[in-house]
Structure 1
């Protein structure tokens, strides 16, 4: 298979991310320009009064709370070089929000000729990623303050991530987040990854709240589809995809930054003053 000729399900060429300066494609760099200051939010038509009652805010982690995608990319590039795997970079955007096992199963079945097992590649990538994570992971700008702000205003907060419990704990310990969340759903607790609704259905079950009173913040198309299929409301954060793509996937609002999110319905608040 020639990755440069890959097509999406609708027959259109998949978006290719490219690394500078050598122009090798990969998924770390965003394929869209930052939104100008006056263009911080995109919105679908909706009835804002329907979003007045929110009992819980549910966060994705990778790409929403922390900027971990570049670290995933770095670990994967290292493994692919070591094992001589020609990765399908033109398809990589479609993998965002999936578990590593789903991704590497696809890689092994389509790009290794059976030379390596899924577990072999997974273990090698995971070891490199954990080392990078502990040393280099940074929060998405404004994420930590927003979590604290929502904790003071809503009954419950939850985390729904395709990452492992170990990765989640490293991140939460580093940034002091454990006390803010009532429910945490990680890879170990689900059988079907996003875009399947199971991750968010599990979260709703643990929260013991109806879906239409829970608002999800997601950065990936797969994550938005998962949350919508579970019946949740979704706001897209444009850290991984353009706002327009997030809206097409089903987000009711899409914002470029957490700073813009404070002013959107149903939050309608004032950002905290950081000293």
Structure 2
């Protein structure tokens, strides 16, 4: 079946923001006197927020409640996004080609809505997506397929009519469990992820162009 919609994961897929999130996590730990190498975010990239923050708390030997940590993390991450967030290589070309071909566009992310909105606004692409799914829209997150199943329901499309673009093993598992074709984007934070079940591995999002025909 011809591809009728592209469903983009956000961080690390549509936007080159994974390093920024890692830096914000590390900076917040350092602000409490417990420095951590931000590159350790690669260990848990794609996981839900309690998993990610719990990993950093263990690395930093930091005992703090999540709400307090989030209060300090949010402004730091917002500043990094405002200063440095950008689309992943090839994203603009893929979005433009999809829109020209009448392919519908959606974002399906496990990130909190404020994070999603901040990235989309900073990258200037908020108006290109007819649907945005974030953490608050589902009770279960990737690798659970709930977010992708919700997107299919809202778009009123079968799984065979969409193509998912992801960058994590959890995201790939979620897309597969929803019955969707899935292309994965390689980058510096996901070298250890197993993508053998993906339909294709991309080096830039522009690599997806010939695969969508």
Q: TM-score range by the shorter chain?
A: 0.7 to 0.9
Offset of 1:168 from its aligned partner? Answer: 2.0
Q: Do residues 63 (structure 1) and 8 (structure 2) align?
A: no
Q: Could you tell me the TM-score, scaled by structure 1's length?
A: 0.69
- Written as runs of structure 1 = structure 2, the 5 A alignment for 1:209-228 is 209-228=157-176
| Distance in 1, Cα, partners of 2:119 & 2:3 | 26
> Contact (CA 8 Å) 1:185, 1:199: kept in 2 or not?
yes
User: Aligned pairs, how many?
Assistant: 212
- Written as runs of structure 1 = structure 2, the 5 A alignment for 1:41-56 is 52-56=1-5
Q: Which ranges in structure 1 are unaligned for 5 or more consecutive residues?
A: 1-51, 268-275
Q: Could you tell me the TM-score, scaled by structure 2's length?
A: 0.87
**What's 1:80 paired with?**
29
| Distance in 1, Cα, partners of 2:141 & 2:36 | 21
Q: C-alpha offsets along residues 237-260 of structure 1, whole Å, 9 cap, x if unaligned?
A: 112434x95532x21111211232
Quick one: which of 173, 182, 186 aligns to 2:121? 173
Offset of 1:92 from its aligned partner? Answer: 4.0
Secondary structure, in 3 states, of the residue corresponding to 2:142? coil
Q: Which ranges in structure 2 are unaligned for 5 or more consecutive residues?
A: none
Secondary structure, in 3 states, of the residue corresponding to 1:104? helix
Offset of 1:131 from its aligned partner? Answer: 1.0
| Distance in 2, Cα, partners of 1:138 & 1:90 | 19
Offset of 1:112 from its aligned partner? Answer: 7.2
RMSD: 2.5
Q: Do residues 95 (structure 1) and 44 (structure 2) align?
A: yes
| Distance in 2, Cα, partners of 1:99 & 1:59 | 17
